[in-house]
Amino acid sequence: MKLKTSCDELAVMGGSPAFSDTLHVGRPNIGDRSEFLERVNGILDRRWLTNNGICVQEFERRLEALLGVKHCIAMCNATVALEITIRALGMTGEVIVPSFTFVATPHSLQWQQITPVFCDIDPETHSIDPRRVESLITPRTTGIIGVHLWGKPCKIEALAEIAGRRNLRLLFDAAHAFGCSHNGRMIGSFGDAEVFSFHATKFFNTFEGGAVATNDDDLAARIRLMKNFGFAGYDNVVYIGTNGKMSEISAAMGLTSLDHLEEIITINRRNYAAYASGLANVQGIRLVPYEGADRYNYQYVVLEVDEQAAGIHRDMLLQALHAENIMARRYFYPGCHRMEPYRSYFPNAGMLLPETERLAERVLSLPTGTAVSEEDIVDICSIIRLVLKNGVEVTNALANGKNT
Ligand SMILES: *Cc1c(COP(=O)(O)O)cnc(C)c1O
């Protein structure tokens, strides 16, 4: 690609797009095709396609070893895993959750008539602010769900302290945090339980899939029954349940992805570093940092765009990038409290969520993963710089409907 140097070369100003192949956030990472197909042949030879098959069993044992937890239960996806875990923990009434998350977090509560009570976030970490949790507790509150947004552990100790003192259950939506650690311990062993997502758009995927990790024997036993209709053996249903099972083909993908976990993280880290150096010292832009001693998976490269300092609103930058076939995303716009049914249930929720509202106008997720090269990132960064340098022109062009 020829580096763009002047404003009129930008696609949004009428130039041709920088990339002919579209760059995505969350393009699936595929471990190794032949290893995967070999496992699939094994599944077909055994004619054992689901119901706690060989691959699922191996996948669960390997996850337990990797995460250092007693129990890991593979599931069909993280949303069902959250629903089942919430139910197995006996949560009812009200549960405190951030609004700045994927909508599955509150949906997994509301789906079973539990009210999500939205808590604001800490603008530094983007995660639930423990200092704001306590004032939201009522006699109906039974639990807290923290989300390790962007794979950065939320304030685990502070939440655990409140949960312990107020006798609340503590669950973590760890959908972003597979392969991450906190104080030398892998995410998966904190709170009453933690839930991972292995959806195709996550950096580690099983097509669709998820898992619950816990050190609680009784909780694990209840979850195992619940995800398999309550069957304790042939013809013996001892519990109410649903169908949350992971299939063999998903576990085969998971095993293959596990074999390549470190390579994928290394590429994500390399990409993150390329963005960090490409966007260093750009006015009005902050790259969400991954720092300290913790392990990260670097699967999200998240920008905060300060309109005043950058000279352009996040949404204009987004449109300019889309015109170049750089499909950046506004995760998690506009915040769950502005989505249905919550918007109708709690029309004034925004007043209690000033930081969430502010951040939802500023964040942008950039393309990364094994489908994005370092050279791509150099080009993306130079385009972001060029757009910002010409913020007024780009904003005016978009306002006049040019190229849209
Ligand atoms: C992806 C995601 C989920 C849902 O995961 P699925 O496996 O697609 O059901 C839940 N919470 C968060 C924060 C997510 O990003």
402 band by pLDDT with thresholds 50, 70 and 90 = low
Residue 169 pairs with which residues in a beta bridge? Answer: 143
Rounded to the nearest angstrom, the distance between the alpha carbon of 104 and the centre of ligand 1 is 6
Q: Average pLDDT, whole number, for the chain?
A: 96
pLDDT value of position 404: 47
pLDDT of residue 2: 73
Residue 165 has pLDDT above 60, yes or no: yes
Which whole number is the average pLDDT over 117-123? 97
Which helix (H) or strand (E) is 158 found in, with range? Answer: helix 156-166
| pLDDT, tens digit (0-9, with 9 covering 90-100), for 353-399 | 999 999 999 999 999 999 999 999 999 999 999 999 999 999 999 99
CATH of domain 7-28+261-328+367-399: 3.90.1150.10
Q: Is 211 in the pocket of ligand 1 (CB under 6 A)?
A: no
pLDDT at 233: 92
Burial class for 2, CB neighbours closer than 10 Å (0-12, 13-18, 19+): exposed
Q: In this predicted structure, what is the pLDDT of residue 1? A: 64
pLDDT in tens, 36-70: 999 999 999 999 999 999 999 999 999 999 999 99
- Average pLDDT, integer, range 298-304: 97
CA-proximal residue: ligand 1, atom 2 (nearest): 175
Q: Which atom of ligand 1 is the closest one to the Cα of 176?
A: 15
Please give the pLDDT value at position 392: 94
- With a cut of 90, say whether residue 334 has pLDDT above it: yes
Alpha carbons 361 and 137: distance in angstroms, whole number: 28
Tokens representing residue 296 in the block: 């990260």
Question: Residue 149: CB within 6 Å of ligand 1?
Answer: no
Residues near 47 by Cβ (< 8 Å), separated by ≥ 6? none
Task: Kindly state if the Cβ of 147 falls inside 6 Å of ligand 1.
Answer: yes
Closest CA to 1 of 21, 23, 25, 18: 18
Query: Is the CB of 104 inside a 6 Å radius of any atom of ligand 1?
Result: yes
Mutate to test the pocket of ligand 1, among 173, 178, 196, 339 (most ligand atoms within 8 A of CB): 173
- List residues with catalytic annotation: 202
CA-proximal residue: ligand 1, atom 6 (nearest):
78
pLDDT per residue over 201-247, tens digit each? 999 999 999 999 999 999 999 999 999 999 999 999 999 999 999 99
**Substitution candidate for ligand 1 out of 102, 195, 208 with most atoms within 8 A of CB:** 102
Over range 147-159, report the average pLDDT: 97
The Cα–Cα gap between 298 and 285 comes to 18
199 lines ligand 1 (CB under 6 A): yes
Could you give the angle at the alpha carbon of 89 between the alpha carbons of 110 and 247, nearest 5°? 80
* pLDDT at residue 293, rounded to an integer: 80
214 in contact with ligand 1, CB cutoff 6 A: no
For the residues 304-316, what does the mean pLDDT come to? 96
CA of 175 from ligand 1 middle (Å) equals: 5
Query: Residue 353 and residue 116: Cα distance in Å, rounded?
Result: 14
| 275 CA from centroid of ligand 1 (Å) | 25
Q: CB of 304 closer than 6 A to ligand 1? A: no
pTM for the whole structure: 0.97
Quick one: average pLDDT of 254-282?
Answer: 97
Q: What is the 81 CA–ligand 1 centroid distance (Å)?
A: 10
Tell which CATH architecture fits domain 33-259: 3-Layer(aba) Sandwich (3.40)
Rounded CA-CA distance 259/29 in Å is: 12
d(CA 318, CA 186): 34
CA 37 to centroid of chain Cα atoms: 28
Identify the H or E element spanning 182: strand 181-182
The structural domains of the chain, with segments of one domain joined by +, span 7-28+261-328+367-399, 33-259
- List strand residue ranges (DSSP E) for 209-349, in order: 210-214, 231-233, 236-237, 285-287, 301-305, 326-327
